[in-house]
Amino acid sequence: MAAEQSFDAYRLSEEHDAIREAVREVCAAKVAPHAAEADETGEFPKASYDALRAADFHAPHIPVEYGGAGADALATAIVIEEVARACASSSLIPAVNKLGTMPLLLAGSDELKRRYLTPVASGEAMFSYCLSEPEAGSDAAAMTTRAVRDGDHWLLNGVKRWITNAGVSEFYTVFASTDPTARSRGISAFVVEKSDPGVSFGAPEKKLGIKGSPTREVYLDNVRIPADRMIGDEGTGFATAMKTLDHTRVTIAAQAVGIAQGALDYAKGYVAERKQFGKAVAEFQGVQFMLADMGMKLEAARQLTYAAAGRSERGDADLTYFGAAAKCFASDAAMEITTDAVQLLGGYGYTRDYPVERMMRDAKITQIYEGTNQVQRIVMARQLLKD
């Protein structure tokens, strides 16, 4: 699946187009049919996972040397976009696999990568990312989870909150303070396994959207892990966490674009068929203006997301700015587009018999996780002022 590194914001390579077509085909047949059920039941969409795994779309970013598909950052964004177009909850399978494994790709030893990336590539395991805590959300450096050296092991204690796919994932990148006096420079990263003694999970959160992707607390009670499970050097965890988010905010932008595309697609079909005052609703100029604005915002978000994906693949110096900008712009656009889609369906849009109300609820989280859009604006402003 390793696509050629062509990141023209206006024209994708043939291979990237082929990846989109393949994902769309899988999602139409085996992911979209489970989207409403996952939302209603709040259960992890196992059938969707199996379909993505069978097609190698569950963790496409894993390099070939670890058994993965070797998709570049743009191809991975396209995969996430297309899955989100069908089911936002399912799109968190490839997205969070990338989020959880990115610290290893950035800072892990080759032995650690081989041990943990290989089962993710094969679909035997999923990976989650444990940064936030009850009192450390946007201020991640204020975390209180501790890791204390114990011979050739580390002893971890603390609580992590808002952990996507917690309980389903086998592996967790956990950030913990190894030197509380050093604040951010005293934070280190570790791989924790679900089966490690002392690891447990809270009840699933009762959420507005993405209900098919479980969000739970992760409890670490004297979790003793080997020292070789540290990711990178001691004290480099916070820097690794921030570098990870530079890359993975692009995936949230892609998710937002996909949700918005799904809503626009459905709304277009509806207004073309729905008749009022003797003609199709789509023939009214006011409706056409709404559709035009939705399409314009969506394409602007997509191009910014793809431009950010190119910078992610190359590791450009301005990735921090572009990752934040893509995530912020695309998620704001998704919220506007899905809200307009509900409006275009009128009373029907407000019911669960139609998918756009689910898409609107799903879109909201993209403005919040991996850094609220207020935080993204702070990040962008700092980058602009630094320049």
- Of 31, 56, 48, nearest to 121 (Cα)? 56
Catalytic member of 81, 217, 357, 370: 370
Contact 113, 121 (CB under 8 A): no
Q: Would residue 81 show up in a list of annotated catalytic residues for this protein?
A: no
**Three-state SS annotation for 248-289:** HHHHHHHHHHHHHHHHHHHHHHHHHHCEECCEEHHHCHHHHH
Residues pairing with 174 in the sheet: 130, 190
Instruction: Say which residues have a Cβ less than 8 Å from residue 5's Cβ, sequence separation at least 6.
Output: 72, 313, 314
- Of 221, 217, 293, 211, nearest to 260 (Cα)? 293
Element (H, E) at 344: helix 319-344
CA gyration radius for the chain? 21
- Of 258, 278, 265, 254, nearest to 344 (Cα)? 265
Which residues belong to the active site?
A: 370
